[in-house]
Amino acid sequence: MRSINIAIDGHSSCGKSTLAKGLATELKYVYVDTGAMYRAVTLYMLENGVVSENEGFDEAELIDSLSEINISFNFNRTTGNSETFLNGTSVEHDIRGLRVARCVSQVSKVKHVRDKLVYFQQQLGKNKGVVMDGRDIGSKVLPEAELKLFVTASIEVRTARRYKELVEKGVMETVESVQDNLKKRDFEDSNRKESPLIQVPEAVVIDNSRLSKLETLTQVLDLANEKIDNH
């Protein structure tokens, strides 16, 4: 049985990563969290004074700093999850806060950032058997993926999910600030010049506003197994 690549695109907090992790586990595929890669770059730039939450950044300085960044993924046997490492240090918790969320869309717009990370992501997909989620996977990173999905949910549902996630991590934000951040990122992701978030024609749309995680995973597993059987 030959392996396929699965590309998952969608807005923030629509359940892409949860779905991708579940698929990778069930199919015994490699899971690549591309959003974590952009978040890790953003975290590095914030911690090294290249990017400021309030003042933005100098693009030339940001580009020069890219050579100092190494991103890797390691499996944590205790949690059962893949963790993001930045220059040898786990940053899985740090990259999930609103501090990074407020700046990541702006950093992701920079062509040199996207080029560097897209190249790495494409190398990971060469051997097939990869589940990758992000915003330009089906359109740019893995345009030949055998199964492409566009995951969506209402802004109210996405806000509730993101707020609950932050509370569980001890990050105190208002529901309003969370929703405002999601709306801002939606606009920036869909309107940026470099590889904007789009729904490619061949993508299967999965609206999980009223679906549980298990229902979403079951529905997509059926689609994946059909593609694998026919591949």
Burial of 58: CB neighbours in 10 Å, binned 0-12, 13-18, 19+: exposed
Q: Is the pLDDT of residue 208 over 90?
A: yes
Q: Do the strands 130-134 and 5-10 form a parallel or antiparallel pair, or are they unpaired? A: parallel
Residue-wise pLDDT tens digits, 90-117: 999 899 888 998 999 889 889 999 999 9
Q: Is the pLDDT of residue 222 over 80?
A: yes
Residues 199-208 have a mean pLDDT of 96
**Cβ–Cβ < 8 Å for 57, 75:** no
Q: Is the pLDDT of residue 80 over 70?
A: no
Residue-wise pLDDT tens digits, 142-187: 999 999 999 999 999 999 999 998 898 888 889 999 999 999 999 9
For the entire predicted model, the pTM comes to: 0.80
The full set of domains in the chain, from first to last, is 5-221 (3.40.50.300)
Which residue carries 């923030």 as its tokens? Answer: 12
Output 78 or 38, whichever has higher pLDDT: 38
Taking alpha carbons only, the member of 18, 28, 188, 215 closest to residue 105 is 188
